[in-house]
């Protein structure tokens, strides 16, 4: 399997929307109501919202490709974080189901580490849903520890996200 990472541009907007909806839906549709899923997908992944995020200098998106197929994506935020100024945030790291457990998540995570080190940041943080056991296990394996929690709204439902951080050396 040949995999590579490419930074997203505005020309990738439609593909970004498709992979965002596809991967979020696959990850969470079975544990949430259709109404809350649709409300969140419409708000977070409409073309205008994604265009705004892509145009923000403190946000960066990257696709991971396997051959010529977009297998998943990463979104990092480099502005001041709720856990401190010396951090970057992994806001999203999602893979299509058929590409999970092939080392691509680690590849995207390593890209985030590379960005953090280039910016002389000391930590990476992220929020992960308390019921997303696979993601929590992955992040722990990659050296993240739970350091707090915050609320995340999916439609009108308040959910709990664990805050996990990784200190870079």
Looking at residue 85, what is its pLDDT?
A: 76
| Cα torsion through 36, 39, 43, 45, rounded to 10 | 80
CA distance 125 to 81: 9
Q: Check: CATH 3.40.630.30 for 3-121? A: yes
Determine the pLDDT at residue 75. Answer: 98
Active-site residue (options: 40, 73, 99, 139): 139
| Residue 147: Cβ within 10 Å count | 13
- pLDDT beneath 50: ranges in the chain: none
pTM of the predicted model as reported, rounded to 2 decimal places: 0.94
| For the chain, domain boundaries | 3-121
Contacts of 58 (CB under 8 A, 6+ apart): 77, 78, 79
By the 10 Å C-beta count (0-12 exposed, 13-18 middle, 19+ buried), 141 is classed as: exposed
Q: Judge whether 139 counts as a catalytic residue.
A: yes
Residue 81, pLDDT score: 64
């Amino acid at each position: 399997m040949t995999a590579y990472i490419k930074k997203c541009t505005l020309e990738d907007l439609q593909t970004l929307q498709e992979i965002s909806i596809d991967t979020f839906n696959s990850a969470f549709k079975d544990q949430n109501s259709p109404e809350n899923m649709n409300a969140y997908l419409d708000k977070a992944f409409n073309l205008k919202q994604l265009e705004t995020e892509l145009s923000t200098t403190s946000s960066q998106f990257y696709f991971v490709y396997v051959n010529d197929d977009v297998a998943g994506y990463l979104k990092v935020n480099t502005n001041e974080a709720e856990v401190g100024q010396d951090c970057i945030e992994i806001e999203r790291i999602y893979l299509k189901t058929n590409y999970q457990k092939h080392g691509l998540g680690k590849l995207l995570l390593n890209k985030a580490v590379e960005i953090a080190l280039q910016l002389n940041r000391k930590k990476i943080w992220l929020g992960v849903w308390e019921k997303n056991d696979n993601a929590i296990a992955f992040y722990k394996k990659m050296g993240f520890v739970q350091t707090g929690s915050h609320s995340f709204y999916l439609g009108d439902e308040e959910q709990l996200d664990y805050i996990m951080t990784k200190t870079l050396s």
